[in-house]
Amino acid sequence: MEKYFIYTLTFEGKVFYIGKTKNVKNRLKEHKKSSRLKRTYKERFINQILSENKDFEIIVIDEVDIGTENYWEIYWISEYRKLGHNLYNTSIGGDGGDTWSGRKHSDETKNKLRKIRYQQIENGKIFKVKGENNGRSKLTAEQVIEMRKLRENGFSYGKLSIKFGVAKSTVIDIIKKRKWTDI
């Protein structure tokens, strides 16, 4: 079955763009080619990198089923922005350009995506992996326990966010046991 890849463009270790593609190698070539047009901040930035005989890299961060790619692109753009990355994406994701700016998925679309994801899990295509065993986890169980103890001792959500290198919303969810519920 064909897949979509959600990827980052990274320069000197910093993520500056998130996109989706079926063919990673071709998409990298397209980014380099379109940078000559200098229409957007991203194209100007890439053009500047290339003009200095430097290079950037494309890194796949997720592999998703066709039909869910817009949802996951929006998700990853949102997550990276929460972490403080200054992205050159011109929209919140989705179909690209301005067609999705400011739009949110309807409840009907969310339910369809949720149903697809549950079917994938039931069919063994995707496994729910909790805690530090999840490849996307940035924290260990020990760090979560420490975070909760520090919060009890008066540490603010903001300070915990900085200390553990995660978004403030993630800290709040962990403290309120909406995430890492098994600990």
Show the domains of the chain with their CATH numbers. Answer: 3-122 (3.40.1440.10), 131-175 (1.10.10)
- Per-residue model confidence (pLDDT) at position 135: 63
Q: Residues 3-30: what's their mean pLDDT?
A: 93
Dihedral sign (CA 129, 133, 135, 141) = positive
Give 40's DSSP letter. S
Q: Cβ(74)–Cβ(19) under 8 Å?
A: no
Neighbours of 179 (CB within 10 A): 19
CA-to-CA distance for 46 and 133, rounded, in angstroms? Answer: 35
Neighbours of 93 (CB within 10 A): 23
- Per-residue model confidence (pLDDT) at position 97: 40
Residue 89 — very low, low, confident or very high, per pLDDT cuts 50/70/90?
confident
Structural element, H or E, at residue 5: strand 3-11
CA-to-CA distance for 142 and 14, rounded, in angstroms? Answer: 28
CA-to-CA distance for 21 and 23, rounded, in angstroms? Answer: 5
Residue 130 — very low, low, confident or very high, per pLDDT cuts 50/70/90?
confident
Environment class of 6 (CB within 10 Å of its CB; exposed 0-12, middle 13-18, buried 19+): buried
Q: Read off the tokens for 29.
A: 């070539």
Q: Residues 65-86: what's their mean pLDDT?
A: 90
**Residue whose tokens read 């919140």:** 92
Q: Residues 123-146: what's their mean pLDDT?
A: 77
Q: Report the candidate in 180, 167, 73 with the shortest Cα–Cα distance to residue 133.
A: 180
How far is CA 34 from its chain centroid?
A: 23
pTM: 0.52
CA-to-CA distance for 27 and 154, rounded, in angstroms? Answer: 48
pLDDT digits (tens, 9 = 90+) for 155-180: 999 999 889 888 899 999 999 999 88
